[in-house]
Amino acid sequence: MLWFESNDLHRHLRVTPSLSDRSGLRAALRAARRRLSPKQRDAIAQSIAQHVGASTCFTPGRRIGLYLATPEEIPTTPLLELAEERGCQVYLPRIVDYRARSMRFVHPSGLWRRNRYGIIEPLGHESLPARWLDCIFLPAIGVDPRGARLGHGAGYYDRALAFRRWRRTWRGPRLIAILADTQRVPHVPEQPYDIRCDAIVTESGLVATDRSAA
């Protein structure tokens, strides 16, 4: 599977944003994602679960960070169900401090709440900081070949994963972005605090990124 070249990206998105403009790129990619029908989103979600299931991500006992997708995102229900079937310990993000933009990963207890962004979060007391998870699946609006990820802009994941910037050697957790093929772009402009992904998974497969690239 190839990454979109700039002209292909512009033609697919039907806009011509500057690729150095994060806000313009984010808006264009969100618009493209919204054009996916519910049936297309569900099909992509099923393909993603199949690719993850064929990998070593969901071995029994592993601590997996996932999230509950919004209606605009690719559904994560197939992945959640697969992780539970494989005997993984699933943890979902919960915001603990809006001012500091801080979150932790919580093991669902069957009780839920909707946060100020309208996202459903688990209640419960069993939580872990991100560093203790084996694998974390991240929402993404766009990702480039280096693993540079464009999120929604609030920075919760980048703060939770900030420890990754100080490590000389990679020790996990493995970071995998979930997105559709149409959200793969040639370049995402980075900020100093951005954390790159180790891999992405789309309807076409699970592939490693080149995090060493400049």
pTM recorded for the entire structure: 0.87
| CB count in 10 Å sphere of residue 210 | 11
Please give the CATH superfamily to which domain 6-208 belongs. NagB/RpiA/CoA transferase-like (3.40.50.10420)
pLDDT attached to residue 10: 41
Please give the structure tokens belonging to residue 26. Answer: 């984010």
Three-state secondary structure readout of 68-137 = CCCCCCCCCHHHHHHHHHCCCEEEEEEEEECCCCEEEEECCCCCEEECCCCCEEECCCCEECHHHCCEEE
- Phi then psi for residue 201, to 5 deg, are -130, 130
pLDDT attached to residue 77: 96
Domain boundary assignment for the chain: 6-208
pLDDT-flagged residues of the chain (< 50) = 1-19
Please give the structure tokens belonging to residue 80. Answer: 């959640």
pLDDT attached to residue 15: 40
Whose CA is closest to 159, among 119, 117, 130, 118?
Answer: 130
pLDDT attached to residue 18: 45
